[in-house]
Amino acid sequence: MGVSLTCFHLYTAYFGTLPSQQQGAVHLGMALGMIFIIFPATRGAGPRQGVPWYDIVLAFTATFAAYYKIIFYEEVLRARITGYSTFDLVIAVLGVLFVLEATRRTVGMPIVIMAALAIAYALFGNLIPSPLLSHPGFSLEQVSPYLWFRESGVFGTPLQISARFIFLFLFFGVVLMHTGVGRFFNDLAFAVTGRFTGGAGKAAVMASSLQGMISGSSIGNTVASGSFTIPMMKNARFKPEVAGAIEASASTGGQIMPPLMGAAAFIMVEYVGVSYREIMFAALIPAILYFASIFIGVHFEAKRHRILGLPKDQLPSKRKLLLEKGYMLLPLLVIITTISVGFTAQRAALLGIGCAFAVSLVRKETRPSLKDILNIFEQGARVALPVIAAVACAGIIAGVVGMTGMGSKFAAGIISLADGVLILALLFTMIACIVLGMGLPTTANYVVTATIAAPALINEFGLPPMAVHLFVFYFGIIADITPPVCLAAFAGAGIAQANPMKTGFTAVKLAIGAFIIPYAFIYNPMLVMVDPTPLGLITALGFSLLGIMGVSSALLGYFVRDSHFWERLVILAAGLAMVVPELLTSGLGLIAMAAVGWWQSRRPDAFQDAKPLAS
């Protein structure tokens, strides 16, 4: 089934997709069938020894429920006017339940609970006494067909984007990993950064950012990269919770790194109404700032604990690595180049996949056999299953939001709480996005936050849609490292054998830039390429980077040397001042931070820069 699902997407990408609703029905139907066959009802039960009869029944019934829209396409369209039959309603109710169960098996309970609460709100919202939250109420006969047969529910824009684009890019990532690109990224990262202060940590950041470019999950990236990088960091004398936090924060950042952005970029295209190329370029500078902030945090942490670079004999040669394996970057360059010159994302993905297979033929150890190719096709489908289920489940939430007007009610609540003050509205929206994003995969995370939280900032404050959507996207993603439900940090802690909550709080300190950057590009949209000027962009980028450095230094307690409490307060204030897009405050912040640096450097006991172990 997995090979068939992958072949279907490759075929329709090359020869042309089916009408959107039919493409989505095949996409979801095959995925549901696979989920009930592959994933047991009890999560964590281990590999299946056989498929129980009830899961076989569920697989066939769920597939039929999705294909029902294709088989009885005209009848379903007419029923919107004439009314749905009892059998239609049964199919709709079962279809929604199948999506919820498939999501529970593949992703977990958080998003299922949110979707169930959304359905309950649609059915019983008329019983809520608050005029701000109540609505007239809808019957089951109204809610179920709206969510299953209309374009605003399960089969809405997110699932359509998943069927057309997301699957292809996830498959592209699987092909790359099977050609040894993941190992190449790790080797390249250690070759470039390993010899510097805290080299093992900096290499982990670089490796995770590179792998994150082609990954669709912060947790999956943490596990995949962390199994190699975390032991290396612990051997280099990073504390276990710090090693886990570095990997978790860097892997989470991979979800905001173009070109893939955890596959959410394709949905953002539809929501913002711009091209994929514009999304990619808009997200680039904030992503660079994010990883720069983690590099800075790792550097300060390493300096504070006197963690040196790795010996030269433990590091691969950059020159040899690039000469022997530099060609492995070609598929990624093909994707970026084709999108930059105006190819559609679908065509770019196909060319990237073709290039990745071509690259795999260069060396004998990466050359796939027919069995390997079939395994890659199967693995590509398996990787996509949790994403498809989560996107379909997020469609339930989005459908209820549209049906009940929940988005406008949420916006009204934000405006009321903020009393028209932008910074308060941003703070409340940030908190809402972090809460909504807890435990959700990247694509579903963005669908939920963009549907519920974004309209308030766009409609009431007139902020640029690009900046707002990246704002809610960032804070939804940051939930993966924000306690108490910091799943990426928990994954890193598991590998590092560290305290999960300490790892989560350490990840927040290391990735503090992630909490600053969204405010920076809201107040200075040039950072997301909204009407940029060369001088304005350079100034905004420079002050944002210095501001992040100041805040990171204050939290970690190191600047030029170990900082006293009053020095940390001054540096914190200076860092925050430089994020504000006012020349006077930024200038004063720069002067204050420079003064503290000068003061620390004049101390006779100032710690000198650590040198790498290698000469």
Taking only the tens place, the pLDDT of each residue in 167-205 is 998 898 889 888 888 788 888 888 998 888 888 899 989
- Least confident piece of the model among 206-220, 291-305, 339-353: 206-220
pLDDT over 50 at 393, yes or no: yes
Whole-number pLDDT of residue 463:
92
Whether the link from the prior residue into 441 is cis, omega within 30° of 0, is no
Tell me the average pLDDT of the chain: 88
Average pLDDT over residues 2-14: 91
More confident residue, 512 or 133: 512
Q: Whole-angstrom Cα distance, residue 154 to residue 397? A: 9
DSSP characters over 371-414: HHHHHHHHHHHHHHHHHHHHHHHHHHHHHHHHHHTHHHHHHHHH
In this predicted model, what pLDDT tens digit does every residue of 43-92 receive, in sequence order?
Answer: 665 556 788 999 999 999 999 999 998 898 888 888 888 888 999 999 99
In this predicted model, what pLDDT tens digit does every residue of 354-389 receive, in sequence order?
Answer: 999 998 888 888 888 899 999 999 999 998 999 899
Whole-number pLDDT of residue 44:
60
pLDDT over 80 at 615, yes or no: no
More confident residue, 428 or 484: 428
Average pLDDT over residues 475-493: 88
Whole-number pLDDT of residue 614:
39
Whole-number pLDDT of residue 45:
56
CA dihedral 43, 400, 397, 437 (to 10 degrees): -130
**Sign of the C-alpha dihedral computed for residues 137, 139, 140 and 146 taken in this order:** negative
Q: Whole-angstrom Cα distance, residue 270 to residue 267? A: 5
Average pLDDT over residues 278-286: 91
Whole-number pLDDT of residue 607:
45
More confident residue, 262 or 558: 558
Provide the percentage of residues in the chain whose pLDDT is more than 90: 45
Residues 591 and 332 sit within 8 Å (Cβ to Cβ): no
Q: How many helices, marked H, and strands, marked E, lie in the chain?
A: 31, 0
Average pLDDT over residues 109-123: 92
Give me the count of residues in the chain. Answer: 615
Whole-number pLDDT of residue 523:
92
Q: Whole-angstrom Cα distance, residue 468 to residue 257? A: 17
Whole-number pLDDT of residue 568:
92
Best CA proximity match to 260, nearest among 396, 352, 386 = 352
Residues 58 and 98 sit within 8 Å (Cβ to Cβ): yes
In this predicted model, what pLDDT tens digit does every residue of 251-277 receive, in sequence order?
Answer: 888 888 887 776 788 888 888 988 888
Provide the percentage of residues in the chain whose pLDDT is more than 70: 96
Whole-number pLDDT of residue 341:
85
Whole-number pLDDT of residue 608:
46
Whole-number pLDDT of residue 209:
80
Whole-number pLDDT of residue 38:
92
Give the burial class of 86: count Cβ atoms within 10 A of its Cβ; 0-12 exposed, 13-18 middle, 19 or more buried: exposed
Whole-number pLDDT of residue 48:
64
pLDDT over 70 at 487, yes or no: yes
Q: Whole-angstrom Cα distance, residue 397 to residue 87? A: 24
Whole-number pLDDT of residue 606:
45
Whole-number pLDDT of residue 318:
85
Q: Whole-angstrom Cα distance, residue 122 to residue 141? A: 12
**Sign of the C-alpha dihedral computed for residues 86, 92, 95 and 96 taken in this order:** negative
Greatest mean pLDDT range, 263-272, 392-401, 603-612: 392-401
Element (H, E) at 553: helix 534-556
Average pLDDT over residues 300-329: 87
Give the pLDDT band (50/70/90) at residue 453: confident
Element (H, E) at 507: helix 500-510
DSSP characters over 31-82: HHHHHHHHS-SSTT--S-SS--HHHHHHHHHHHHHHHHHHHTHHHHHHHHHH
3-state SS record for 176-191? HHHCCHHHHHHHHHHH
Residues 273 and 168 sit within 8 Å (Cβ to Cβ): no
Q: Whole-angstrom Cα distance, residue 3 to residue 76? A: 30
Quote the Cα angle for 63-65-67, to 5°.
70
Whole-number pLDDT of residue 611:
41
Residues 564 and 603 sit within 8 Å (Cβ to Cβ): no
pLDDT over 70 at 221, yes or no: yes
Q: Enter the pTM of the model.
A: 0.84
Give the pLDDT band (50/70/90) at residue 152: confident
Average pLDDT over residues 81-107: 93
Q: Whole-angstrom Cα distance, residue 66 to residue 399? A: 17
